[in-house]
Amino acid sequence: MCSCALRRTDQSDRLLNFVIPWTAANGIDEFICRRQPDEGGRLQFQQQMGTDMRVTFSVPGVRHGWLPGIPATLSKRELRRRFWHMSPGLLPFVLQAVPHQDPISPTLRGIILIVAAVIAGRIFLGFRRIQRTSERGGGAAVAGYVLSVLTMMLLFPRHLEMSLALLAILAFGDGSATLFGLLLRGPRLPWNRDKSWTGLGAFVTAGTLTSAWIYFGESLNIESADPPVTFLQALLLVLPAVVAAAVGESIRSRINDNVRVGVIAGLVLMLTHLYRPM
């Protein structure tokens, strides 16, 4: 256990960026802090006294990551959080294996609503196990995730590919931003020093590829009411939504990022849908 007091300056912030790699290089196994490291692995502190920050930490949990020399900063809590955030994105792949009419039948709509309610309830009731110290509760995170997808489905029951693409953006785009931002870190974003270019790039890459594939796959449904699109067309239709959502997620805001991503991506998908070849 070690304790130190630092003057809150840009130089001290830069110095703290080396704490995690240094501890990993020196064989220290754990890392415990008043707040978890941010997406880029920087420490943040809650206890402040005037212009000074008092930092108390022992260093478990910092272990080497998937690339040589890069320490992972994913705690068990964050791993559970990534699992519950990203696993709903697998549902569209299951649904694509089941032929369904457009618009979707009341029966299928009811099944989707029940599955969404069960998953949302499970996450909400167990949210303390994945809650970050800076969060007050899981209501906004769960509601922003689930309601944005369900609203899109209810507004466009004939175009299920839109709500499924939105689910992929939330699950794999937003989920990958935190996952790779924590594992690989990287240069800070100029408009938000708690976010990295690595996380932003992971959001755009993973979100675009997965949502385009799901959009494309759903359009191939044999009972679809509209002609299918090519993968390239699907890519062009989802890309603006992914980029807009990634930028929106990276901006400092008190609004939960699931709400921001869901609303922004949903609105842009509605606009790009106007240009879908019919």
One domain, residues 37 and 90: no
Instruction: Check residue 99 and give its pLDDT.
Output: 82
Choose one of 37, 71, 105: the last residue of a domain.
71
Beta bridge partners of 52: 7, 49
One domain, residues 165 and 60: no
One domain, residues 87 and 64: no
Q: Secondary structure of 222-274 in the HEC alphabet?
A: CCCCCCCCCHHHHHHHHHHHHHHHHHHHHCCCCCCHHHHHHHHHHHHHHHHHC
One domain, residues 43 and 149: no
Residue for token pair 């000074």: 52
**CA 70 and chain centroid, separation:** 21
User: What are the tokens at 67?
Assistant: 């690339």
Q: Quickly count: other Cβ atoms within 10 Å of residue 241's Cβ.
A: 28
Instruction: Check residue 16 and give its pLDDT.
Output: 47
Question: Which range is least confidently modeled, 8-12, 159-163, 253-257?
Answer: 8-12
Instruction: Check residue 65 and give its pLDDT.
Output: 45
Give domain status of residue 113, yes or no: yes
Q: Are 52 and 165 in contact (CB under 8 A)?
A: no
User: What are the tokens at 217?
Assistant: 């796959």
One domain, residues 89 and 151: yes
Residue 59 one-letter amino acid: V
pLDDT tens digits for range 236-251: 999 999 999 999 999 9
One domain, residues 178 and 58: no
One domain, residues 48 and 99: no
Q: Secondary structure of 14-69 in the HEC alphabet?
A: HHHCCHHHHHHHCCCCECECCCCCCCCCCCCCCCEECCEEEEEEECECCEECCCCC
**Nearest 5 degrees, angle CA 27-CA 31-CA 34?**
160
Give domain status of residue 278, yes or no: no
- Range from 74-78, 113-117, 193-197, 241-245 that averages highest in pLDDT: 241-245
One domain, residues 60 and 130: no
One domain, residues 186 and 122: yes
The average confidence (pLDDT) of the chain is 79
Domain that holds residue 21: 2-71
**CA 244 and chain centroid, separation:** 14
Q: Quickly count: other Cβ atoms within 10 Å of residue 82's Cβ.
A: 17
Choose one of 47, 71, 95: the last residue of a domain.
71
One domain, residues 155 and 32: no
Question: Which range is least confidently modeled, 54-63, 69-78, 186-195, 242-251?
Answer: 54-63
**228-238: buried (b, 16+ CB within 10 Å) or exposed (e) per residue?**
bbeeebbbebb
Q: How many CA atoms lie within 13 A of 125 on its CB side?
A: 6
d(CA 39, CA 74): 10
pLDDT tens digits for range 88-142: 999 999 988 888 888 888 999 999 999 999 999 999 898 888 887 777 778 888 9
**168-192: buried (b, 16+ CB within 10 Å) or exposed (e) per residue?**
bbbbbbbbbbbbbbbbbbbebbeeb
One domain, residues 99 and 193: yes
Strand 188-189 relative to strand 192-196, pairing: antiparallel
| Closest of 178, 220, 225 to residue 203, by C-alpha | 178
One domain, residues 47 and 67: yes
Instruction: Check residue 72 and give its pLDDT.
Output: 52
| 0.85 surpassed by pTM | no
d(CA 159, CA 106): 15
Choose one of 22, 41, 71: the last residue of a domain.
71
How many domains in the chain?
Answer: 2
